[in-house]
Amino acid sequence: MQPALEHQEEKDSQKEEEEAPPHELTEEEKQQILHSEEFVTFFDHSSRIVERALSEQVDVFFDYSGRDLQDKEGRHLSRLVTYPELLVASYSSNEDAPHEPDGVALVWNMKYKKTTPEYVFHCQSAVMSAAFAQFHPNLVVGGTYSGQIVLWDNRSNKRTPVQRTPLSASAHTHPVYCVNVVGTQNAHNLISISTDGKMCSWSLDMLPHLELVFKQSKSVAVTSMSFPLGDVNNFVVGSEDGSVYTACRHGSKAGISEMFEGHHGPITGLDCHTAAGPVDFSHLFVTSSFDWTVKLWSTKNNKPLYSFEDNSDYVYDVMWSPTHPALFACVDGVGHLDLWNLNNETEVPTASVTVEGNPALNRVRWAHSGREVAVGDSEGQVHIYDVGEQISVPRQDEWTRLRTLSKIQLNEVLQLWALKHIYSFSCSKSQCRGRTSGRLFACVDGVGHLDLWNLNNETEVQKSPRNII
């Protein structure tokens, strides 16, 4: 009977402990817990999950386990590495709030309809450019007005940078508008270019130490930069003087290699073709400018292939679709977001939307899926738009249709330099019809003028038409 009595005594002791009132924490103990690193980390992580749950329109508490077990690890790893649903937006100083930090970078989650950012980062200088550090999913890189490069880590409880480059004459001394991480998983660098014409290469592991700096004898005020798909040495930059330059990081001819002229105002945006497919279009790139135009270029030709002139204000940014070979987006100063499909139309956008209030749109970015596009405006707001499948999803023939740019090139050639005008006459009626034959081209206008052009000037043309309709 002795073991039974001991067991009963243990039960009574446990019951007394359960019925005992909880220990009341003192104010000092409460503050100690609230300011502990463990609690801050827990609260930050938990509040973010609760905000996501509140923004969902479905029952987030339903048990979906077992429905998505196939390839679960692969999908999770992919999202962990690339964070395709995240968007980082950089902001300058708020003149109405002088006590707030001069620079702010906010990380938004495009997957959830949240009105609050996932992460908030601060900086002592206005943040002119920001990007996720490729191959480092927890790091965000920023280029500042002071010329410093800063690095934030979302694993840290601090909102301020965990690393920053020194303010030195050997590095950037002007605003940094371009930052990009290029390379491979095991060998990559952070590339930055500022308006002082200086290009710097940094290691993310040792950001305070400059690895490589290059400056031309004649400085170029760079405003935008882009690397062709799969290339870590050659890149393209746009400048304040309206010129575009190709350059390389290494080799005997490191620096600027060629200049492209065509814009009549500062370059505001530049993007190299990024959609991977059966045909290589990495030589194509698009630019936007204060001259109200977007231009299509090829690194194989120093003249623009085509000029898109549908805008009526400054065009602030342009970007290729990451999945559709012929689709790009651009934004302007009167709130227009335009989507252009080169395989469909080159005179007017395939789709266009105007943001309410007509704010100036200064940035446009595609989601990795190519199904969403985000734009930032001059009022500090970010707008996200869904792009329909009929526009965003490429058909099987899109690559082959874009392979020959002869039609686009010919339109530009007709306007500028290649044709030789050999004869002109007027018809008796204001509307004329004609035909093309071989290398001959005929065009008409609204007052009855019919012009004949010879592409190679090897064929004689009759001085009067055979038939007047």
Pair of tokens at residue 75: 């999908």
**pLDDT confidence tier of residue 66, bands split at 50, 70 and 90:** very low
**pLDDT confidence tier of residue 244, bands split at 50, 70 and 90:** very high
Q: Give residue 108's identity as a one-letter amino acid code.
A: W
Tell whether the model's pLDDT for residue 38 goes beyond 90: no
Q: What is the pLDDT of residue 14?
A: 64
Higher pLDDT, 311 or 408: 311
**pLDDT confidence tier of residue 405, bands split at 50, 70 and 90:** low
Pair of tokens at residue 186: 């095991």
| Residue labelled with tokens 């990380």 | 107
Q: What is the pLDDT of residue 464?
A: 41
**pLDDT confidence tier of residue 354, bands split at 50, 70 and 90:** very high
Q: What is the pLDDT of residues 423-466, one digit of tens each?
A: 444 444 444 444 444 455 566 555 455 555 554 443 334 434 43
Please state, in angstroms and as integers, the Cα–Cα distance from residue 91 to each residue in 8, 194, 239, 253, 360, following that order: 67, 17, 22, 37, 15
Sorted by sequence, the CB contacts under 8 Å of residue 184 that are 6+ apart come out as 135
Q: What is the pLDDT of residue 462?
A: 40
Q: From CA 234, how far away is CA 131, in angstroms rounded?
A: 20
Please state, in angstroms and as integers, the Cα–Cα distance from residue 404 to each residue in 183, 326, 345, 437, following that order: 30, 12, 15, 21
pTM over 0.85: no
**pLDDT confidence tier of residue 113, bands split at 50, 70 and 90:** confident
Q: What is the pLDDT of residue 458?
A: 38
Mean pLDDT of 105-125: 84
CA angle in degrees (0–180, nearest 5) for 88-94-98: 135
Q: What is the pLDDT of residue 5?
A: 55
**pLDDT confidence tier of residue 71, bands split at 50, 70 and 90:** very low
Q: Give residue 383's identity as a one-letter amino acid code.
A: H
Sorted by sequence, the CB contacts under 8 Å of residue 250 that are 6+ apart come out as 233
Burial of 360 (0-12, 13-18, 19+ CB in 10 A): middle
Mean pLDDT of 83-94: 79
Tell whether the model's pLDDT for residue 245 goes beyond 70: yes
Q: What is the pLDDT of residues 155-179, one digit of tens each?
A: 888 889 999 988 888 888 899 999 9
Q: What is the pLDDT of residues 224-243, one digit of tens each?
A: 999 998 888 899 999 999 99
Mean pLDDT of 62-67: 37
In order of their start, the domains of the chain are 75-407 (2.130.10.10), 419-469 (no CATH)
Least confident of 71-85, 229-243, 385-399: 71-85
Higher pLDDT, 183 or 1: 183
Mean pLDDT of 379-398: 89
Q: From CA 92, how far away is CA 101, in angstroms rounded?
A: 9
Mean pLDDT over each residue of the chain, to the nearest integer: 77
The share of the chain scoring above pLDDT 90, in percent, equals 28
